[in-house]
Structure 1
């Protein structure tokens, strides 16, 4: 039964994220990234809403996932005042170009070593929602590029993002993806924090690449 549920969820998620294709232009995306680098181009930069946390690393992230995220902010399925305003200003072509730029931005060879093993407690937590079934065994090679790479992402950001799926009927914060909400709500906030800390300890492709003006 669990396998059937997960298969159905994966199929549903694919249709949710499937969007008309736009030709991606990474060079055009680089020229459009000025609004992004003030947060995502500064190592360790922290946001202060809804709580203090590091902004996510997006250099090296899957382009298809970046587009899906921006579309979710634009539609209101994700809520964050700053990101909402930015997404509203972007066309579908802008999103495609920015995504192409960040996917290859500062790209480094994938780590070939074995991922750090979780504690028995965290291993059981990860099995509970079968996180690896979408995000990949090493959490750096998702089964579909519409899913994010999460290995090595900032722990505090992962925690805030996962916690957002516990929030509903709030006009300023929260995430409305039904599949992820169902998964996140299997856990207490304390358990989400433990999962986030483990995922952040893994090697992955995600990084912050400073722009020259901020070095």
Structure 2
């Protein structure tokens, strides 16, 4: 029993150390610009749609938080987010690659020295307000849905509605090898809603001005 405990303890320490190490790695924007060949074929085309496992516009990632992008890529790599294509791409990246790409996309399309946008949040309908309040969405993602309280949480304002709907639904899925997201907090939130309600939320969030954008690539390489 002591030997088993020692082994498990050593494994836990090893995993914790690895996780801490991956979070401590500093991303390099210039390095990320040279590593994005696998990204631009989907995320660098306006209106580009994924066709598997569902049809929806791929998410806008330019202007997204670096820490969120890092967390998302690691989740795909670990299988916590089930998407065959993204799992394959994430598996091909080491921790430094992920940090570099995340740093690059966090400033991609952002004018150097530009002041933060001064936005007025579009007021939701009474029905959408009730849905937002039900899970207190703004408490994590910010009152304007572009300034989350933790940079590892995504900016949502202006993101594609069909992507947001698919992403929110994914937190409700269980025991599916190709679809689903394992996040206890978001699963608890998403399961409070019907799919019709999630679509209303997604449509509203997409209508809010935000930092996210698609920056078309001048060439593919």
TM-score when normalising by structure 1: 0.89
Pair 1:70 & 2:78 matched: no
Shift of 1:213: 1.7
Give the alignment of 1:49-128 within 5 angstroms. 49-107=52-110, 109-128=115-134
Segments of structure 1 that go 5 or more residues without pairing to the other structure are 1-15
- Find the aligned partners of 1:42 and 1:17 in 2 and give their Cα distance: 34
- Find the aligned partners of 1:49 and 1:20 in 2 and give their Cα distance: 30
1:30 is aligned to: 33
Segments of structure 2 that go 5 or more residues without pairing to the other structure are 1-18
Deviating above 4 A after TM superposition, structure 1's stretches of 4 or more consecutive aligned residues are 16-19
Contact 1:110 1:205 in 2 (8 A): no
Shift of 1:20: 2.9
- Find the aligned partners of 1:192 and 1:19 in 2 and give their Cα distance: 33
- Find the aligned partners of 2:82 and 2:147 in 1 and give their Cα distance: 26
- Find the aligned partners of 1:154 and 1:198 in 2 and give their Cα distance: 10
- Find the aligned partners of 2:139 and 2:61 in 1 and give their Cα distance: 22
Shift of 1:19: 5.2
Contact 1:73 1:87 in 2 (8 A): yes
What's the CA shift string for 1:9-50, capped at 9, x where partnerless? xxxxxxx99953102100000100000000000000000112
- Find the aligned partners of 1:50 and 1:110 in 2 and give their Cα distance: 36
Contact 1:17 1:146 in 2 (8 A): no
Shift of 1:111: 3.0
- Find the aligned partners of 1:151 and 1:17 in 2 and give their Cα distance: 30
- Find the aligned partners of 1:19 and 1:122 in 2 and give their Cα distance: 38
Shift of 1:110: 3.8
What's the CA shift string for 1:90-123, capped at 9, x where partnerless? 0000000000000000015543131100000000
Would you say how many aligned residue pairs link Structure 1 and Structure 2?
199
Contact 1:111 1:203 in 2 (8 A): no
TM-score when normalising by structure 2: 0.87
2:8 is aligned to: none
Pair 1:170 & 2:193 matched: no
Shift of 1:159: 0.1
Shift of 1:51: 1.4
Select 1:40's aligned residue among 31, 38, 43. Answer: 43
- Find the aligned partners of 2:23 and 2:55 in 1 and give their Cα distance: 35
Contact 2:22 2:95 in 1 (8 A): no
- Find the aligned partners of 1:90 and 1:96 in 2 and give their Cα distance: 10
- Find the aligned partners of 2:20 and 2:41 in 1 and give their Cα distance: 27
